[in-house]
Amino acid sequence: MRLIPIITAFLVAFGLYVSVFQRDALRAFALGDATAQEQSADTADPTETTKDVADLDAIRVVVLRSEATTIDNAVVLRGQTQADRQVQVRAETTAIVISEPLRKGAFVNKGDLLCQLDPGTRQASLLMAQANLEEAKSHIPESEARLQEAFARLEEAKINNNAAAKLSEGGYASSTRVASTEASVRSAEAGIESAKSGVHTTRAGIEGAAASVAVAKTELDRLIIRAPFEGVLETDTAELGSLMQAGSLCATVIQLDPIKLVGYVPEAAVDLVKVGALASAQLAGGQQVAGNVTFLSRSADPTTRTFLVEIAVANPGLAIRDGQTADIAISSDGALAHKLPQSSLTLNNDGQLGVRTVDSDNIVEFMAVELIRDQAEGIWVGGLPDKVDVIIAGQEFVTQGVLVNPAYREATK
């Protein structure tokens, strides 16, 4: 039973002896393999050895081998929906409303009755104007007859004047008679002018009476207020019995089909937008809509320096309302872009947005990028070569000109 403690004591004593008195020999024995490796390294290429040591000392990063892809470019902006047409229908005359009101939200067609006003004495005014017109027309035959009579008198006076002149040449008529016939001619000519003036006065009376008839008819037409186009009532029509004056509101009508998407394009992207270009939008409620650009302003807003753009969108069910917020994307010419993780973006010392890349010698470079499109699965950027190795992990721990030890990863399609 005492054999085991004796052996244990012997081994402990031997270990202490070796570690204290034979320490150099023990170290030489332990480093025997490393020495052999150093001797073999002496026979190897010193350049490769230096490179291997450098690679071991370099920072390890993950690099994505990316190749540019042609994508459909788009101009993205925030806007809102807007009724294609909206009008406040107002009265043009003063009268009492005699029609039952239509309630807001009702759909009306073009020409539907919105408000009807009491005619009052307007019908009697029309009848009076028509009677005056008929009376003025009745004076036309009399005026024309007087004009014809004046022409006949002139012819008669000219004949008498010619006869008197010939008799006077033969000594058969006195100069007094000749002067009398010449006075008759001038009097007949004055009679013609008077008759013509009478005709003009009669015709002027007819035109005045006709104008009075037109005014009376127009006044009657203003008593019927109709919808100017197909749409929806945004307000109730005027209540029965209310007094309408010139300019009083009868109803507000808006047209929602088609509906417009309205936004403002920054001046840096205005050249990318073309009239007729396809556009899509996502409304605040998640609804997706599409249409075409119908208008692009030629004049910038003086405050924001942006340009108004309008997009027509079909809205047959009137599901889209006026004033809804919309995220709009307007298509433009395609562009070469790289799809990278959003985390790969970084800033240089000057605050410029870009990515850090690796060249063929594993040296870090910084390249500025241009944001093209942002998606949930990644971000599309431009401004890079067609093929590039982008650091997607570890880029924040290295700077331009630093040697790295990259682990490559192929881009997913």
43, part of any domain: no
> CATH number for the domain including 281?
2.40.30.170
Name the domain boundary from 331, 349, 374.
331
204, part of any domain: yes
- Co-location of 132 and 213 in the same domain: yes
- Co-location of 301 and 350 in the same domain: no
**Cα distance between residue 331 and residue 73, in whole Å:** 6
Instruction: Please say if the pLDDT value at position 119 is more than 70.
Output: yes
pLDDT the model gives residue 34: 44
CB of 107 closer than 8 Å to CB of 232: yes
pLDDT the model gives residue 29: 52
- Co-location of 198 and 259 in the same domain: no
Mean pLDDT of 303-308: 94
| Chain segment 4-21, per-residue pLDDT in tens | 777 777 676 666 665 655
Specify the higher pLDDT residue, 392 or 139: 392
Mean pLDDT of 274-288: 91
Confidence of residue 154 (pLDDT cuts 50, 70, 90): confident
pLDDT the model gives residue 198: 84
| Chain segment 43-57, per-residue pLDDT in tens | 445 444 444 444 556
Percent of the chain with pLDDT over 70: 86
- Co-location of 208 and 193 in the same domain: yes
- Co-location of 111 and 240 in the same domain: yes
169, part of any domain: yes
Instruction: Please say if the pLDDT value at position 146 is more than 60.
Output: yes
Instruction: Please say if the pLDDT value at position 140 is more than 70.
Output: yes
pLDDT the model gives residue 376: 77
> CATH number for the domain including 341?
2.40.420.20
pLDDT the model gives residue 404: 92
CB of 77 closer than 8 Å to CB of 326: no
- Co-location of 394 and 373 in the same domain: yes
pLDDT the model gives residue 139: 82
Instruction: Please say if the pLDDT value at position 122 is more than 60.
Output: yes
Instruction: Please say if the pLDDT value at position 219 is more than 90.
Output: yes
Contacting residues for 171 by C-beta, under 8 A, at least 6 apart: none
Instruction: Please say if the pLDDT value at position 37 is more than 80.
Output: no
Instruction: Please say if the pLDDT value at position 296 is more than 70.
Output: yes
- Co-location of 342 and 259 in the same domain: no
Mean pLDDT of 236-262: 94
- Co-location of 102 and 162 in the same domain: no
Specify the higher pLDDT residue, 45 or 99: 99
41, part of any domain: no
Instruction: Please say if the pLDDT value at position 258 is more than 70.
Output: yes
- Co-location of 375 and 325 in the same domain: no
201, part of any domain: yes
Name the domain boundary from 274, 306, 331.
331
Instruction: Show the domain range for 151.
Output: 122-221
Buried b (16+ CB within 10 A) or exposed e, 252-275: bbbbbbbbbbbbbbeeebbebbee
Name the domain boundary from 285, 304, 331.
331
- Co-location of 110 and 160 in the same domain: no
37, part of any domain: no
Establish how many alpha carbons lie within 13 A of residue 319's alpha carbon, considering only the half-sphere containing its beta carbon.
11
Name the least confident of 63-77, 153-167, 220-234, 380-394: 153-167
| Chain segment 346-366, per-residue pLDDT in tens | 998 888 999 999 998 999 999
- Co-location of 179 and 323 in the same domain: no
* Separation of first and last alpha carbons in the chain: 75
146, part of any domain: yes
pLDDT the model gives residue 413: 53
Residue 5, preceding bond cis, omega within 30 degrees? no
Contacting residues for 357 by C-beta, under 8 A, at least 6 apart: 364, 365, 366, 367, 384, 388, 389, 390, 391
**Cα distance between residue 198 and residue 192, in whole Å:** 10
Structurally, how many domains does the chain consist of? Answer: 4
163, part of any domain: yes
- Co-location of 273 and 305 in the same domain: yes
> CATH number for the domain including 111?
2.40.50
Query: Average pLDDT of the chain?
Result: 84
**CB atoms closer than 10 angstroms to residue 66:** 25
Task: Decide: residue 128, CB within 10 A, 0-12 exposed, 13-18 middle, 19+ buried.
Answer: middle
